[in-house]
Amino acid sequence: MPDTPLIDATVFAELQDTAGPEFVVELVDTFGEEAPQILEELRAAHREAAAERFRRAAHSLKSNSSTFGATGLAEMARSLELVGMPADPGPVDALAAELEATVVALKQRARAGAGGG
């Protein structure tokens, strides 16, 4: 299984180790369902210039991506949380693209881990 740069392999393996590979499949699927909603909240907050809501949504994404070892996504979310709302939606779009790719990679990795034992 080739290493995906989107995910820190060590962190993900540890998660599988402590929570169980089957459970991680379930957890990744949950993230796949929840993350688009959080992203939508992030976009809505940006449109409405609601700084606190924006920070909270970024905070949630940061927290979840760190759990899975999705280092790149976590870093982008963290920067949005701490720096605050960008003037243009560029950084939010970049995060959305990273999120989509990360979820695909996570699902692939989780199923490989569960199937391969």
Partner 1 sequence: MAERGARLLVADDNKVNRLLLSRTLQLDGHQVQSAENGRVALEMLRAQGFDLLLLDMEMPELDGFAVLEHMRADADLRDIPVVVTSSLEGVAHVARCIELGADDFLHKPVNPVLLKARVNSSLEKKHLRDQQKAMVRRFATAEVAQDMQTSGFALGGRRVQATVMFSDIRGFTTLVEQSSPEDVIELLNTYYTLMFEAITANGGVVNQMIGDGLMAIFGAPRPLPEAEAAAARAALDMLELVQLFNTEREREAKPPIMIGIGIASGDMVAGYTGTQQRATYTCVGDTVNLAARLEAHTKQTGHSVLMCADTAARLGARFTLEPLGPVQFKGKTVATEVLALGG
**Rule CB under 8 A: which residues touch partner 1?**
18-20, 23, 26-27, 30-31, 34, 56, 59-60, 62-64, 66-67, 82
Q: Which is nearer to partner 1, 28 or 92 (CB)?
A: 28
For the residues of 42-110, what is the DSSP string, one character each? HHHHHHTT-HHHHHHHHHHHHHHHHHHT-HHHHHHHHHHHHH---SSSHHHHHHHHHHHHHHHHHHHHH
* Least spacing, CB of residue 88 vs partner 1, in Å: 25
Q: Which is nearer to partner 1, 18 or 88 (CB)?
A: 18
Q: Which is nearer to partner 1, 75 or 89 (CB)?
A: 75
